[in-house]
Structure 1
Amino acid sequence: MSVLDRFRLDGRTAILTGVGPGVGEHVAKAYAELGANVVISARSQDRLDRIAAEINALPGGRALAVVADAGEKADLEHLVVRARAAFGPIHIVFNNAAAGVVYARDGGLWANTDDVWKTAMDVNVMATWRLTELTETDMKAHGKGSIIAVQSCGGFTPIPPAVAYGVSKAALLFLVRELAKSQAPHTRINCLCVGSMSPDGHEAEIHKGLGLAERNAIKRFGAADEAVGAAVLLASDASSYTTGSTVFTEGGRVGTIS
């Protein structure tokens, strides 16, 4: 097998959550370009329909859009059933959905209400747990499973007042390590830590004043397509000996803390 062939995803079926303008859209299109059947999900039908149509318009592109809330177990069950019915066994899960961020303008620390905590844990932690359980049979059968949980710098460094979000992302880190141990060798499970990114690489209005770019070694926001290489690596045979690990695409924010 050539080096480039190791990155191919021909015939594999990938489920992606939290797909919208940004990392999810770019990764879905990259997986499709490399030969995967992609099943994209989010809570917005219009957004999903646009992305699926663009993928299906590509030569050999195969995409299915399924509306699903990653924090709802029934939605995830429906998502897996639809994916199997359309394309067969699942090979890849890219958990991109995230929730539970609280900003200072929302009321500070105590804006982390019980509902915020529940949402953060359901979407940021339990979705990975549930999708691992729901796809385990497929991945045991073909032995080429790859589950990727999108991590955040907030899981490594405090970002008050987003306490529920940060704690849930830290919990996700350990969940991935636990699952990597229990699901080997048929499934590899890793984190992809995505830093300050936006669809076009410019600071979003909601982030202004937080100094996110200044905390990075690279001193700028990332463009969403800059996470694609790592997402392809973790999904493909190019990382066949990698599990329980974290790949960072965060501009050096975590790796250069001082």
Structure 2
Amino acid sequence: MNVLDRFRLDGRNVILTGVGPGLGEHVAKAYAELGANVVISARSQDRLVRIAEEINGRDGGRALAVAADAGERADLENLVARAREAFGPVHVVFNNAAAGVVYAADGGLWANTDEVWKTAMDVNVMATWRLAELTATDMEAHGNGIIISVQSCGGFTPIPPAVAYGVSKAALAFLTRSLAKALAPHTRVNALCVGSMSPDGQEAEIHKGLGLAERNAIKRFGAADEAVGAAILLASNASSYTTGSTIFVEGGRVGTIA
């Protein structure tokens, strides 16, 4: 076998949440290019349609766009049902949806209202739990299930005033390890921690003044496509002996804390 064949995703049916112009779009296109059938979701249907059309316009591309709010169980139930109807049993879930960040301009620490806390936990933690529950029968039946959750440096290093967001991401790290233990050996569960990153590698207006790039060893923002390699690794047989782990693609922000 060619060593690169271990990274192929031929015939895998993948659900991706939070698919937008950054990491989600890049990963969806990469998975499709490697042979997967991808079901992409986000709250914005227009953006999803564009991405699906681009994937389906390629030779062999197979994508389905399903609008869904990752914080709503009914939406996730519909997402899984549509995925099965279109392609069959689910093999991979890529949890990229995120919510609950507050900034100093929003009112500081106490902008973490009850509603913000609820949204952060529903989208950043419960969506992963619910999708694991909803796809468990598929993954146990075929024995090759994979769950990947996108982590944040905020789950490892405090980023006030985004306390609700950080706590939810810290909870996601423990949920990843818990599901890895509970669902083995038929399902592998890992996380991909991304840091200061944007679609094109440029600092977004909303991030200016926070000094995010200066907090990492590489001293720059990352581009979304720089995390694609790690996402492919975790979704493929190339990581067949890896579960309960986190791959860091964050310029060294967490790994080089002094």
- The alignment's TM-score, normalised by the length of structure 1, stands at 1.00
- Letter aligned with residue 106 of structure 2: D
Q: How does 1:45-60 map to 2 (within 5 A)?
A: 45-60=45-60
- Letter aligned with residue 163 of structure 1: V
Cα offset for 1:2? 2.3
Aligned counterpart, 1:8: 8
Aligned counterpart, 1:85: 85
The one-character-per-residue Cα deviations of 1:90-136 (angstroms, maximum 9, x if unpaired) are: 00000000000000000000000000000000000000000000000
Aligned counterpart, 2:191: 191
Q: Distance in 2 between matches of 1:143 and 1:23?
A: 27
Aligned counterpart, 2:234: 234
Cα offset for 1:64? 0.0
Aligned counterpart, 1:165: 165
Where has structure 1 moved over 6 Å in runs of 4 or more?
none
Number of equivalenced pairs:
258
Q: Percent identity?
A: 86
Q: Distance in 2 between matches of 1:143 and 1:242?
A: 15
Q: Distance in 1 between matches of 2:3 and 2:245?
A: 22
Q: Distance in 1 between matches of 2:225 and 2:199?
A: 8
Note the residue ranges of structure 1 that are not aligned, 5 or more in a row.
Answer: none
Aligned counterpart, 1:31: 31
Q: Distance in 1 between matches of 2:31 and 2:248?
A: 19
Aligned counterpart, 1:213: 213
What is the RMSD computed on CA atoms of the aligned residues? 0.4
Cα offset for 1:3? 1.2
Q: Distance in 2 between matches of 1:251 and 1:83?
A: 34
Note the residue ranges of structure 2 that are not aligned, 5 or more in a row.
Answer: none
Q: Secondary structure at the match of 1:219?
A: coil
Q: Distance in 1 between matches of 2:161 and 2:191?
A: 23
Q: Distance in 2 between matches of 1:149 and 1:77?
A: 18
- Letter aligned with residue 133 of structure 1: E
Q: Distance in 2 between matches of 1:70 and 1:3?
A: 36
- The alignment's TM-score, normalised by the length of structure 2, stands at 1.00
